[in-house]
């Protein structure tokens, strides 16, 4: 018999069906054995009666998380036993046959309760079990719905989804790179991308005009609740635009996302308020201000834009570095200062950050699209011309070959999902996250590799002796 999804059982009253899934709860009432069975679409109460002898005997054996196939009749529950406003609250399955598809050992924790209170290491070691829980099922499925909504909206706006490489060049962009040694060209290394920043700008050089992707970004930096060494960005870039165009498109996208998928939530202010960096620091002491009128309301969303960031800041060594990224365009009135490398401390950039409830969920800028502007940024930071050419020669060459004005933004997609799902950290909205120490406990990574693998790469490890 063809399988019926549990969510469709209320349309099958009076019919014989076969359902398949996991045993959620088993309750033995003597002659009656009740089993709640769940699949990816929902849960239904099933009952094994003594008159179905063989099925009743098998029902005596099954335990939590066994994978089974039940065949039987869909019956209406007695009205006094019905549970209103609940999926399948008014039906149950009278089991006539059971097939055990796979048994399960006792699960490491109880899935019928919120797993949020369970030791996180145990949860991550058994992540495939944790992912069966109702909360994480909802989080990951809602993540899919959000990404599908974004894809549809951007596609309708004329954007093209394009993947960019994961094996790329190590360049000084702020965070520490993850490095991948080359076997064929020993002694050289790829870097895993901290972001698709340079590739997306080169796509503007390539004439695509509107690009986006859900990009994996990898940064070898310490983790925290809203950050992982491996995370996902919604990355987009547009040609022939000004700051207002990029901000308007993103604001429209965020509002439609909330209104269509989170109708229970309220956007506090539309259009989003705009605050300069100077005002944010003076008034709130942070460039990520939490503007909620009521911070106890989990369904209140206070978006705002923070604009007019300083382009440069001093390092501990009293040299200049960028505040966000080196590829930004200065505000028009500071272009001459940038080229002349004067008034550096007062140069403002076209950087714009989108902030939600005290978290930065995205940042972008109008980009430098001329060789002279990008070169000036690196010269202010103290880079010699040969180092600029070595690290960014590919960008400079593209800018000399007809790159249009362009700008874009990248959302921290995991962080946005964390806030929309009212979770405390991004690990709750990522299928297979790392720990706070950057370890992947399910497969126990990072781990040692064989001496043969190291030999293929021309790498030898030096053991620390502890001696000076």
Does a structural domain hold residue 109? Answer: no
Which string of b and e fits 390-426 if b means at least 16 CB within 10 Å? ebbeebbebbeeebebbbbbbbbbbbbbbbbbebebb
pLDDT computed for residue 281 by the predictor: 97
Residues 135 and 83 occupy one common structural domain: no
Q: How many CB atoms lie within 10 A of CB 331?
A: 20
The reported pTM is 0.94
Structural domain count of the chain: 2
Whether the pLDDT of residue 80 is over 90: the answer is no
The most distant pair of C-alpha atoms in the chain lies apart, rounded to whole Å, by 91
**% of the chain surpassing 70 pLDDT:** 98
User: Which among 128, 134, 109, 106 is positioned nearest to 119, based on CA atoms?
Assistant: 109
The per-residue DSSP string of 209-225 comes to -EEEEEEEEE--S--BT
Tens-place pLDDT, residues 283-305: 999 999 999 999 999 899 999 99
In a domain, 456, yes or no: no
Same domain, 300 and 246: yes
Per-residue pLDDT for 430 more than 80? yes
| Closest C-alpha to 434, from 137, 168, 225, 234 | 225
The CB density around residue 215, as the number of other CB atoms within 10 Å, is: 23
Q: Are 144 and 95 found together in one domain?
A: no
User: d(Cα 312, Cα 333) in Å, to the nearest integer?
Assistant: 16
- Nearest 5 degrees, angle CA 116-CA 121-CA 124? 75
Q: Are residues 68 and 135 in the same domain?
A: no
d(CA 396, CA 377) in angstroms, rounded, equals 12
pLDDT tens per residue, range 172-202: 766 899 999 999 999 999 999 999 999 999 9
- Of the listed ranges 54-63, 319-328, 393-402, the least confidently predicted one is 319-328
CATH code assigned at 28: 2.40.50.140
- Assess whether pLDDT exceeds 90 at residue 143: yes
204-259 per-position pLDDT tens digit: 999 999 999 999 999 998 767 677 899 999 999 999 999 999 999 999 999 999 99
Domain assignment present for 364: yes
pLDDT tens-digit profile of 81-129? 888 889 999 999 999 999 999 999 999 999 999 999 999 999 999 999 9
Query: Is residue 247 domain-shared with residue 301, that is, in the same domain?
Result: yes
């Amino acid at each position: 018999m063809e399988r019926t999804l549990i969510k469709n059982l209320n349309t099958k009253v009076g019919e014989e069906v076969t359902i398949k899934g996991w045993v959620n709860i088993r309750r033995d009432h003597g002659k009656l054995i009740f089993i709640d069975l769940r699949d990816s679409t929902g849960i239904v109460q099933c009952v094994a009666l003594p008159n179905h002898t063989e099925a009743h005997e098998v029902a005596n054996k099954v335990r939590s998380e066994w994978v089974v196939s039940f065949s039987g009749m869909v019956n209406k529950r007695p009205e006094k036993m019905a549970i209103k406003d609940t999926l399948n609250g008014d039906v149950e399955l009278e089991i006539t046959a059971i097939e055990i598809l796979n048994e399960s050992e006792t699960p490491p924790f109880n899935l019928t309760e919120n797993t949020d209170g369970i030791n996180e290491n145990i949860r991550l070691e058994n992540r495939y079990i944790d992912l069966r829980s109702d909360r994480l099922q909802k989080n990951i499925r809602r993540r899919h719905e959000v990404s599908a909504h974004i894809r549809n909206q951007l596609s309708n706006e004329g954007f093209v989804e394009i993947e960019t490489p994961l094996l790329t060049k190590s360049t000084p962009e702020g965070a520490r790179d993850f490095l991948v040694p080359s076997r064929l060209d020993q002694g050289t290394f790829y870097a895993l991308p901290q972001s698709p920043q340079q590739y997306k700008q080169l796509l503007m050089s390539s004439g695509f005009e509107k690009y986006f992707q859900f990009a994996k970004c990898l940064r070898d930096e310490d983790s925290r609740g809203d950050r992982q060494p491996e995370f996902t960005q919604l990355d987009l870039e547009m040609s022939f635009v000004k700051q207002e165009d990029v901000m308007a498109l993103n604001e429209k996208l965020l509002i439609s996302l909330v209104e269509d998928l989170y109708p229970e939530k309220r956007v506090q202010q539309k259009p989003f308020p705009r605050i300069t960096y100077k005002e944010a620091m003076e008034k709130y002491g942070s460039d990520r201000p939490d503007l909620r009128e009521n911070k106890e309301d989990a369904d209140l969303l206070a978006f705002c834009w923070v604009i007019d960031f300083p382009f440069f800041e001093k390092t501990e060594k009293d040299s200049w570095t960028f505040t966000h990224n080196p590829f930004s365009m200065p505000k028009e009135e500071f272009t001459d200062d940038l080229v002349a490398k004067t008034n550096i401390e007062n140069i403002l950039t076209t950087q714009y950050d989108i902030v939600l409830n005290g978290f930065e969920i995205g940042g972008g800028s109008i980009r430098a699209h001329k060789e002279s502007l990008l070169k000036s940024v690196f010269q202010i930071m103290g880079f010699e011309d040969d180092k600029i050419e070595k690290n960014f020669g590919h960008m400079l060459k593209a800018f000399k070959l007809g790159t249009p004005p362009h700008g874009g933004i990248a959302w921290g997609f995991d962080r946005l999902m964390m806030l929309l799902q009212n979770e405390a950290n991004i690990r709750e909205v990522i299928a297979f996250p790392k720990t706070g120490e950057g370890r992947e406990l399910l497969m126990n990574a990072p781990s040692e590799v064989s001496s043969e693998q190291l030999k293929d790469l021309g790498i030898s490890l030096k053991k620390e002796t502890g001696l000076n």
